[in-house]
Amino acid sequence: MTEPLYYFIQQLLNGLTVGSTYALIAIGYTMVYGIIGMINFAHGEVYMIGSYIAFIVLAALALLGLDSLALMLIGAFAISMIVTSAYGFSIERVAYRPLRGGNRLIPLISAIGMSIFLQNVVRLAQGSRDIAMPSLITGGWSIGPEEGFHATLSYMQLVIFIVTFITMTALTLFISRSRMGRACRACAEDIKMTNLLGINTNNVIALTFVIGAALAAVAGVLLSLYYGVINPYIGFMAGLKAFTAAVLGGIGSIPGAVLGGLLLGVTEAITAGYFSTEYKDVVAFSLLILILLFRPTGILGRPEVEKV
């Protein structure tokens, strides 16, 4: 009876692939929330822009006659991360910084406005239709017997795992070891006190947005390579799922965002695989409600300390 096992492995791999990218996007939500207590609803759109830039870069490189896959990928990641970070930085500067310090709801509305704005800008600039590109990374490994059902791990899925792992490790090291990372953690703890200690909190907040956007760009590149299709509306659902992942893991906690993303991805795949694809989202969001009922701060979230 190995067939059920391979089936389970296949669904687990499928879930972890989607989950990894949820996690990458979720970090953008969770870091911003951790520091300024605001939900950046335009973050899904930042991911969408990252995907478009990846598409444009790959198409441009292919047009220039570059045929090395590794160079194309590096180019796509580098340019997409840089340009998307610039977007993240500008969004914070234009839409959130002028509103900081007022009512918490105001930046939230501004974020929703920003999201609609970005979606429509891309729609007008790139058209509203699906844009597709051929698979660049094909093939994969079979796990299991030659005959009958066997699980497949495609090279693309492997690339997603590896890139996600490297990115997460780099982020963790940055936050725990570097000077700026320490400043980030200090801001998350008490932003007023950090300011009094002579750290420019405006820079730290801007950095948070830049990091979040860069990670969203990584997810954008990976997912556009994996699915091969993008349109200006992909940011909405991806943002919603990533936001759910962040809340599930405990908003404000980076390991929580990763855990939440993977958990959400696997839950979806298992539901679709063993029950019905129709109930995928129902089960995923029911899980969210259940966890929030019993652990209102999410899986790894800390209870909020009343700041005096």
Positions touching another protein (CB under 8 A) are 3, 7, 10-11, 14-15, 17-18, 123, 128-130, 132, 134-135, 138, 140, 149, 151-152, 154, 156, 223, 227-229, 231, 233-234, 237, 268-273, 276-278, 280-281
Closer by beta carbon to another protein, 15 or else 34: 15
Closer by beta carbon to another protein, 97 or else 280: 280
**Least spacing, CB of residue 189 vs another protein, in Å:** 37
> Coil, strand, or helix at residue 298?
coil
Residues 6+ apart with CB under 8 A from 209: 32, 40, 88, 89, 91, 92
What does 146-210 look like in DSSP terms, one character per residue?
SSS--EEEEHHHHHHHHHHHHHHHHHHHHHHHSHHHHHHHHHHH-HHHHHHTT--HHHHHHHHHH
Closer by beta carbon to another protein, 21 or else 110: 21
**Least spacing, CB of residue 155 vs another protein, in Å:** 10
**Least spacing, CB of residue 83 vs another protein, in Å:** 22
Spatial separation of the C-alpha atoms in residues 45 and 49, rounded to whole Å = 6
**Least spacing, CB of residue 31 vs another protein, in Å:** 25
**Least spacing, CB of residue 54 vs another protein, in Å:** 15
Spatial separation of the C-alpha atoms in residues 83 and 88, rounded to whole Å = 9
Which run of H or E residues covers position 116?
Answer: helix 105-126
Closer by beta carbon to another protein, 117 or else 227: 227
How does DSSP classify residue 287? H
Closer by beta carbon to another protein, 120 or else 178: 120
Spatial separation of the C-alpha atoms in residues 69 and 62, rounded to whole Å = 10
